[in-house]
Amino acid sequence: MGKLAVKFGKLLYYTIAMRLPASYSGIRVGQKAFRAFCGRLILKHCGKNVNIEKGASFSAKASLGDYSGIGVNARINGDCTIGDYVMMGTDVVVITRNHCYERTDIPMMHQGFAEERPVVIGNDVWIGDRVIILPGVHIGDGSIIAAGAVVTRDVPPYAIVGGVPAKVIKNRKDREE
């Protein structure tokens, strides 16, 4: 899509679509289709049958795979690739860059930002409510991120992680005997 399409998509999304009821509200006014239409205009890639929820904000550098969703009030900053069949809870935050803080002789607010580090979320991932994912993290296929977790490092495939900072609790492929 061209820059004009992205600007038009943002205009439609941020003035109308993001304020429409959540998809599960019981009120049907075409909000899911309208937000998906805006997503196709704005996102770097937008798959089929996606669900962008009420209040979500996202970067034009983000990609959303087939049958995936961006949760209510989620915030996807910068370059983030979301795979296929990803479920995302409310208030999820994906951060792709941080402030610089190395120097102590200059206030941190004047040191600028570190280089952007893309976040990659694999296929068939479930991200719980209020999860925070920090720059450069890769989340493996089939993983579950527990509600409230702060993900500071890569998550292996099929891992269940939780806590602050998030740690592996269990692997979905391990079978209890």
pLDDT at site 27? 86
**pLDDT 10s digits, 121-171:** 999 999 999 999 999 999 999 999 999 999 999 999 999 999 999 999 999
Q: Check 45, 99, 110, 138 and give the catalytic one.
A: 99
CB–CB of 3/12 below 8 Å? no
pLDDT in the model for residue 36: 96
Q: Tell me 114's DSSP state.
A: P
Class of domain 52-171: mainly beta
pLDDT at 96: 97
* 62-72 pLDDT tens trace: 999 999 999 99
Residue-wise pLDDT tens digits, 48-99? 999 999 999 999 999 999 999 999 999 999 999 999 999 999 999 999 999 9
Write out the DSSP string of 59-111: -TT-EE-TT-EE-TT-EE-SSEEE-TT-EE-TT-EE----B----SSS-GGGS
| Domain parsing of the chain, residue ranges | 52-171
99 catalytic residue (yes or no): yes
